[in-house]
Structure 1
Amino acid sequence: MKKIFKNFLYQATYQLLLIILPFVTIPIVSNALGVKGIGIYNYVNSIITYFTLVAGLGLANYGIREIASVRENKNLLNKKFSELLQFNIIISLFVTAFFVFFVLVLSRYQVYFLIAGLSIIACVFDISWFFAGIEDFKVVTLSNFAIKLISLFLIVVFVNSTDDLFKYLFIQAASSVISNVLMFLFLKGKVKLVKVTLGEVFSHFKPAVNYFYGNVAITLYTTLSKTFLGLMVSVAIVGLYSNSIQLTSIVVVIITTLDTVLMPRLTYLFESNNFAKMISVIEQTFHVQLFFSIPAMCGLIAINNKLIPWFFGKSFSYLTYTVPALAPLVVIIPLGTSVMRQYLMPKNEFRKFNFSVYVGAIIGVTTNLMLIPIFKIWGAVIASLLAEVAVTYLRLRYLFSETSFTFSKKKIAGYVFSGIVMGVAIYTLTAKMPSVAMTTLIQIILGGIIYCILTLFLRVNPLIQIFKDVFKK
């Protein structure tokens, strides 16, 4: 448990940086680029995502599982790493070549696509799956931490007007390349390249594709909305929708940190036939997750009207309508992600994982096509909610039907009650305060204090027992 807690701290520190940075960069970028600039950025990146998806070919999850399964055997670890690295390089280079051809025949936003295309090259050097597989999160955290800080500095200095969109694209894409290259410096002593055959390299194609199918489906119901909005409505609407989703995503990222840390550990427990311990860990972490996600949802609804004006700028004022509607995703997405990373992936249940995202993709694509032409941004909002609910429902059903896993109704009721009271309290107490950063900070601190006091009073705060376990001699 101590190692898990230590890895969680590394990941949480980095994810905390990912949360803090947007509070600096988003106001700068949103005010500098405006609704249209943000729209073009997200439209271009929505299409770039399809290429990086193919370039990664499922290694983000498959690679972690493969490395975790052989981490105790040095020879097998060297062999597995060599196979996966070469497999990744070949696929990524092939996709990069195809992307160049794609851009040459594309006329709209061609320069932006070429700059953003560096993100595809970054996939060639991505070995984060290896460090996650051996549960060494320190390396990934520190290298990414340094690059993010440098990126922040460059954004603050160089992104000042609508003409700086290409600079923003370059900073973001180049950061991905440099961050991935840096990780190779930390491989010494952990693994080494050994000679493997081409047949052994491509033996990973079929199982990786099984994970890839699911990632394609996820992209269809999470990213396609931006593409459809850009094609059917306008890039300005893409900007509004993207920033609405981004605000919920900021919260989701920190909540799902624990999943990344636990996936290799749960894989190891499953491979060791310690299934009872595996379910016990899952039950504990799910309730910790809900302890954070439920008040996060309530808090987001309560503070968004004070947050959005200073955070995104006056041109994004419409987000005060869309963000509360999307706030439930803060609870829904982490739950579905947790079942996937903590249960389905360690058990190699990619068929069930794929089925859930296939359903989500069908619902997402269908509702987007039907609703966006009529309801525009609200069509995309409804599609996102329906798709994510369907995915999470199916995954939870697998977990309930196959294991002894149960939710504690008492704890969840306590979280919901405390979250609602907290939300009403901070909304009422800060109603007359101005829409500035200090108000948001006061709301967050005040909300945190109220929520912690209420959950302690109701005896549903899980952090007390966790700290006792961590610091127990």
Structure 2
Amino acid sequence: MKRTFLNILYNAVYQIFLVLVPLITVPYLSRVLGPKTYGIYGSVNNTVQFLMVFCTLSVSYIGIRTVSRTRTYGTPQELTEAFWGLWYFQAIAGLVTILITLLITNIFHIQYWNYLILMVPYLISAQVDISWFFQGLADFGRVVLKNTAVKLASVVLILLLIKSPADLWKYFLIMSVSTMLGSFVFWLDIHRYVGKPVDHFYKYKTTIVSIITLMIPQIATQIYTSLDKPILGFFSNSTQVAFYDNSQRISNMILGVITSISLVIMPKMASEEKETQKVVLKKSLEATTMLGTLFAVIIMANTKQFVPFFFGQKFIPMTPLMFFFALTIIMIPMGGVFANQFALANRRDKEYAIPVVIGAIIEVVLAALLDRPYGASGATVAILITEFVVLILRLWIVRDDYSFKNAFSDVPKYFLIGIITLIAGMLMPNLIRSSFVNMAVKSILMLIIYAGIMFMMKLDFNQDIMDFITRFLRKVKR
């Protein structure tokens, strides 16, 4: 468990760093570029995110669990064959996707085609990304350090080069090239873990079946997490896209920190026995629910002050969108526990696929009905309904493999604590002139209230927290 904790810590630190970076760049860019121009970036970036699915072919999911099992039970030669044999699928798929993208954009000159071309390095980054190999090895320190350096360089370039809406093309180029370089750095160390390239794919038939099975939910997920912005842009305009996209931005940053638990634990779950899995699953569910409700209510209580402070006065119309979108901080990680840590770890690919496929259908239907008349508000309602349905399906579809009563015994208590903390936060007066200081004080007070109520209740997770604090203090004393 010590290595698992260190990996969670490494990944959490990196995810927090990813949160801090936008805290510098987003306020600057939202003011320099403005809602309309920023909305163009949102539409193009999310289109590219969708195309990246075809570059990777879900190899990352297959790779993490395959490398994890091979590391535990296989030989060094089997690890070499698994790495190269899986990456060949990714390499060929990436090449085909890039060529088709370039062909279509140059021949048909679709909307924002020139910006799409600038994002080709982004697609190359997906093609050469082998971070899944290090995640399968549970070597997260290497992943964290190298990506941190690349991200810092991109921040410096953004602040130096982006000065007006006319510099949008520079922003596209900085983001795409820096991401590509971040993927290439992993190749510098791969020779330490695997041998020379092999001349065959890895378990061709089995892998193809897994790819097809997992590609369907990957495409479906991207439809309601990435293509929802271009769809909104089609029915509305780039300003509405900017409001919708940025209303999700802070929540998505927090989600990165919370879902890092799932990312780290999935390799462990893939190599554990059933009974151990159930223990880990319960603890992980409680941790994600606790963090999700805590962060969600803090964001909701601060939204009214946060939007003009962080994004600028032009983005005030997105305030209610950001308030309600914070609910996804609770829903998505909870579903991720059962999807990533349980279904994928146990090779239940069909059970992983079904909820997101249904979710994609619901999202497209709701977007078609709500985006045109209600704009960003309609898109927000559509995504919230979609995420709720996906969550329920993820819990229900693997119900035969875990005890619902045991796993969810304390979950309602976290919801109650969250509601009480939110009410307290909403009732707190703004006594300090500085918006930043006022939000900081309110957030700290809400954290104290949440923790106080939590420890007043008899929660199983309280003992885990106390054990961790005790072990940490002992190490400090040494």
Rounded Cα–Cα distance in structure 2 between residues aligned with 1:321 and 1:198: 50
Rounded Cα–Cα distance in structure 2 between residues aligned with 1:312 and 1:131: 36
Which residue of the other structure, out of 163, 168, 171, is the alignment partner of 1:168? Answer: 171
- CA contact under 8 A between 1:53 and 1:215: conserved in structure 2? yes
Partner of 1:92: 94
The 5 Å alignment of 1:418-457 reads 418-434=417-433, 436-457=435-456
Rounded Cα–Cα distance in structure 2 between residues aligned with 1:32 and 1:150: 20
Deviation at 1:453, TM superposition (A): 2.3
Pair 1:373 & 2:372 matched: yes
Q: Deviations over 1:49-102 (max 9, x none)?
A: 221110011112111112112113211101111111222111111111111102
Any idea what SS the aligned residue of 2:271 has?
helix
CA-atom RMSD, angstroms? Answer: 2.0
Which residue of the other structure, out of 216, 219, 222, is the alignment partner of 2:219? Answer: 216
Distance 1:435 1:60, change over 3 A: farther
Distance 1:197 1:387, change over 3 A: same
Distance 1:442 1:79, change over 3 A: same
Partner of 1:308: 307
Residue type matched to 1:4 in 2?
A: T
- CA contact under 8 A between 1:310 and 1:435: conserved in structure 2? no
- CA contact under 8 A between 1:128 and 1:140: conserved in structure 2? yes
Q: Deviations over 1:160-186 (max 9, x none)?
A: 221121111111111111001001112
- CA contact under 8 A between 2:331 and 2:387: conserved in structure 1? yes
Greater displacement, 162-171 / 393-402: 393-402
* 5+ residue gaps, structure 1: none
Greater displacement, 96-105 / 433-442: 433-442
- CA contact under 8 A between 1:399 and 1:405: conserved in structure 2? no
Distance 1:414 1:204, change over 3 A: closer
Pair 1:125 & 2:128 matched: yes
Q: Deviations over 1:339-377 (max 9, x none)?
A: 111100011111111111111011111111112122222
Pair 1:191 & 2:190 matched: no
Deviation at 1:215, TM superposition (A): 0.3
Pair 1:265 & 2:268 matched: yes
The 5 Å alignment of 1:181-260 reads 181-197=184-200, 204-260=207-263
Rounded Cα–Cα distance in structure 2 between residues aligned with 1:143 and 1:292: 27
Deviation at 1:407, TM superposition (A): 5.1
Rounded Cα–Cα distance in structure 2 between residues aligned with 1:440 and 1:18: 21
- CA contact under 8 A between 1:39 and 1:235: conserved in structure 2? yes
- CA contact under 8 A between 1:21 and 1:152: conserved in structure 2? yes
Partner of 1:319: 318
Partner of 1:16: 16
- CA contact under 8 A between 2:90 and 2:127: conserved in structure 1? yes
Any idea what SS the aligned residue of 2:46 has?
helix
The 5 Å alignment of 1:332-351 reads 332-351=331-350
- CA contact under 8 A between 2:118 and 2:173: conserved in structure 1? yes
Partner of 1:33: 33
- CA contact under 8 A between 2:16 and 2:257: conserved in structure 1? yes
Residue type matched to 1:233 in 2?
A: S
Q: Deviations over 1:357-398 (max 9, x none)?
A: 111011111111112122222221111011111111011113
Rounded Cα–Cα distance in structure 2 between residues aligned with 1:378 and 1:238: 10
Distance 1:58 1:444, change over 3 A: same
Distance 1:180 1:446, change over 3 A: same
- CA contact under 8 A between 1:217 and 1:358: conserved in structure 2? yes
Partner of 2:60: 60
Rounded Cα–Cα distance in structure 2 between residues aligned with 1:440 and 1:23: 14
Number of residues of Structure 1 aligned to a counterpart in Structure 2: 469
Any idea what SS the aligned residue of 1:194 has?
coil
Q: Deviations over 1:176-206 (max 9, x none)?
A: 1100100111223211233222585676333
Q: Deviations over 1:313-363 (max 9, x none)?
A: 111101211112222111011111111111000111111111111110111
Any idea what SS the aligned residue of 1:8 has?
helix
Rounded Cα–Cα distance in structure 2 between residues aligned with 1:102 and 1:471: 59
Deviation at 1:424, TM superposition (A): 3.0
Rounded Cα–Cα distance in structure 1 between residues aligned with 2:469 and 2:343: 28
Any idea what SS the aligned residue of 1:192 has?
coil
Rounded Cα–Cα distance in structure 2 between residues aligned with 1:334 and 1:432: 34
- CA contact under 8 A between 2:285 and 2:407: conserved in structure 1? no
Identity %: 26
Distance 1:401 1:468, change over 3 A: farther
Q: Deviations over 1:204-248 (max 9, x none)?
A: 333212111110010112222211111111011100000011122
Rounded Cα–Cα distance in structure 2 between residues aligned with 1:409 and 1:202: 38
Any idea what SS the aligned residue of 1:113 has?
helix
What is the TM-score with the length of structure 2 in the denominator? 0.93
Greater displacement, 434-443 / 352-361: 434-443
- CA contact under 8 A between 1:139 and 1:186: conserved in structure 2? no
* 5+ residue gaps, structure 2: none
Partner of 1:143: 146
- CA contact under 8 A between 1:400 and 1:406: conserved in structure 2? no
What is the TM-score with the length of structure 1 in the denominator? 0.94
Deviation at 1:470, TM superposition (A): 7.3
Deviation at 1:124, TM superposition (A): 2.2
Deviation at 1:459, TM superposition (A): 4.2
Distance 1:206 1:409, change over 3 A: closer
Greater displacement, 6-15 / 69-78: 69-78
Partner of 1:103: 105
Partner of 1:45: 45
- CA contact under 8 A between 2:86 and 2:202: conserved in structure 1? no
Distance 1:409 1:180, change over 3 A: closer
